[in-house]
Structure 1
Amino acid sequence: PCFLKDWELHVHFKIHGAGKKNLHGDGLALWYTQERLVPGPVFGSKDNFHGLAIFLDTYPNDEATERVFPYISAMVNNGSLTYDHSKDGRWTELAGCTADFRNQNHDTFLAIRYSRGRLTVMTDVEDKNEWKNCIDLAGVQLPTGYFFGASAGTGDLSDNHDIISMKLFQLMVEHPLEDEAVDWTKIEPSVSLLKSPKDNVDDPTGNFRSGPLTGWKVFLLLLCALLGIIVCAVVGAVVFQKRQERNKRFY
């Protein structure tokens, strides 16, 4: 198990196969979980896990999605959430990005960094020898004492999922004094979000945009616009009055 509070994992991987135009699948998953790897339906591992999962999904199961694949997404679970494979995990996804990592003729890498409650996922899949940001999420709580792992899954289609290396680095980060009293092994995996992932709607780039405006949102926008107009009018009146007083002094 890993007892580091701040860490960074570098994964050298390769996903490849002869299948063309979505005739391949399903993808690779990287785990930081309470349980050692247990076979199951989520990219070869168990569902309702405790911890963090990073999915490298190569096949769109949801035909209605506008998301561009291959797609990388993050999920944090305290054992209560179920991964919906038919929707490509969209309801429990925290954040994600499109990354063209399949069938590349060069090395492909992924970095997962966790430090002071911030989760960052970066890719190096374009043969540029530089990290490209994919996920940057604050408010993530992960305990120590969990296990790193990797798994892959196939269905009616197949692909090759190779893990070439996994390297873990300790990050030297200062923590507040109050953190010394925390038992990091007892922390419940969680994420502090302003909104639920279920409120997210796909856009063609694979990112999220907000859902349609509701009546309350329209009302608040109109109210803010009205207040802005009133403030501008008051400021304009004050400026005009001061100019009038200044002009009177010259008569």
Structure 2
Amino acid sequence: MANAEIYFAIFLFLLNFLSGVAEWNTKDYLKKENSLIKPYSDGRWDFVGSTIVSNSYVRLTPDHQSRKGAIFNNLRSYVPNWELHVHFKVHGSGNDLFGDGFAIWYTKEKLMLGPVFGGKDYFTGLGIFLDTYSNHNGPHNHGHPYISAMVGNGSAHYDHDRDGTHTEVAGCESHFRKSAHETYIAIRYEKKKLTVSTDIEGKNAWKECFSVEGVRLPTGYYFGASAATGQLADNHDIISMKLYDIGLDEEKAEDYENIDPSADMFAPPRDHVEDEKRSFMSSRLTGWRFLLIIIVGIIGVGVCAMVGFIIYTKRQEDARKRFY
């Protein structure tokens, strides 16, 4: 009889354990229709610009100047609480000068190339920016590479001249470029809380980058990614984007399809001040300005050479006069 009771207790324990596992699996599962997984051939993602699809990765931009590329899921996501895992790689030939970076999007619009890391400015939704540009604009209290988040309502402008610090909700430094390990970023949104974490040190563990309360994001938006290069360049590769439904119970009163994207907190604005400590060659020069600097430099060298020749000739004449 005692053995029967023991076996029955073990049976109840296993039943409760398996029930708990089953319940966990139903509340946190992969949304395949909103995920980008090898071999990238399910037809649920659209590619534009310089994007190249291989068997191993989706390259948004090659390591060449002035390129833009983007990918967007062509199915809307209606998950109110979610976590997006992005496996990526940023690398290139530059050791000191490189850029510009890439963005991960959850937006109302899709497939629009633009000036914000290859994506559209004045966007509506969420942008996570992984900025690798090695020269910053104005005084910072952080270095690069840098990860930041911005919530746009269609009227906010991302200002590259200020590295977007006057519209970001939060940010952190992260040395993901040319990492010796596989690089991942996790974007988690649950009950108006946005948390961004990274795994870039090969520890198979998430390290929190930042967490922000009071972020409101509607359902029915598109996930995507984009990248851009300018005078500086890098390869920006996406290996996978996996969306998980967290499955948390939500208040039924709120209509998540019709709320406007917003955030309670923004980083304080700062004045734009040119950084004189950095080499002018690493600044974001447009083509005609760069050409103008080259022309002025050539003229300057010519003037210096002419003045030097005149001084040399004068000294030679004076030397001959003293000899006679």
TM-score range, shorter chain: 0.7 to 0.9
CA–CA separation in structure 2 for the residues paired with 1:181 and 1:129: 38
Q: How many residues get paired?
A: 195
- 1:154-165 equivalences in 2 (<5 Å): 154-165=229-240
Q: What's the offset of the Cα at 1:197?
A: 2.1
Q: What's the offset of the Cα at 1:183?
A: 2.0
Q: Unpaired runs of 5+ in structure 2?
A: 1-75, 272-324
CA–CA separation in structure 2 for the residues paired with 1:63 and 1:198: 14
Change in 2 beyond 3 A, CA 1:148/1:117 = same
CA–CA separation in structure 2 for the residues paired with 1:197 and 1:35: 25
Q: What's the offset of the Cα at 1:110?
A: 0.2
Q: What's the offset of the Cα at 1:47?
A: 0.2
Higher strand share: 1
Query: Partner residue of 2:131?
Result: 57
Q: What's the offset of the Cα at 1:121?
A: 0.3
Query: Partner residue of 2:219?
Result: 144
Which amino acid in 2 is paired with 1:42?
V
Residues 4-53 of structure 1: CA distance to partner in whole angstroms, max 9, x if unpaired?
A: 000000000000011011x1100010000000130000000110000000
- 1:47-126 equivalences in 2 (<5 Å): 47-59=121-133, 60-126=135-201
Identity, % of aligned positions: 54
2:99 equivalent to 1:25: yes
Residues 84-123 of structure 1: CA distance to partner in whole angstroms, max 9, x if unpaired?
A: 0011101101100001100112200000000000000000
2:268 equivalent to 1:198: yes
Query: Partner residue of 1:219?
Result: none
CA–CA separation in structure 2 for the residues paired with 1:200 and 1:134: 22
- 1:180-191 equivalences in 2 (<5 Å): 180-191=252-263
2:114 equivalent to 1:15: no
Contact 1:52–1:77, Cα closer than 8 Å, also in 2 = yes
CA–CA separation in structure 1 for the residues paired with 2:111 and 2:176: 24
Query: Partner residue of 2:112?
Result: 38
CA–CA separation in structure 2 for the residues paired with 1:107 and 1:158: 20
CA–CA separation in structure 2 for the residues paired with 1:184 and 1:140: 13
CA–CA separation in structure 2 for the residues paired with 1:63 and 1:15: 25
Q: What's the offset of the Cα at 1:64?
A: 3.5
SS in 1 for 2:121: coil
SS in 1 for 2:257: helix
Off by >4 Å, runs of 4+ in structure 1: none
SS in 1 for 2:115: strand
Contact 2:165–2:269, Cα closer than 8 Å, also in 1 = no
CA–CA separation in structure 2 for the residues paired with 1:63 and 1:128: 34
SS in 2 for 1:136: strand
Which amino acid in 2 is paired with 1:164?
I
Q: What's the offset of the Cα at 1:65?
A: 2.9
Q: What's the offset of the Cα at 1:63?
A: 4.9
**What TM-score comes out, normalization by structure 1 length?**
0.75
Residues 164-205 of structure 1: CA distance to partner in whole angstroms, max 9, x if unpaired?
A: 000000002122xxx313221111000113xx423579xxxx
**What TM-score comes out, normalization by structure 2 length?**
0.58
SS in 1 for 2:84: strand
SS in 2 for 1:86: helix
Which amino acid in 2 is paired with 1:68?
G
SS in 2 for 1:185: coil
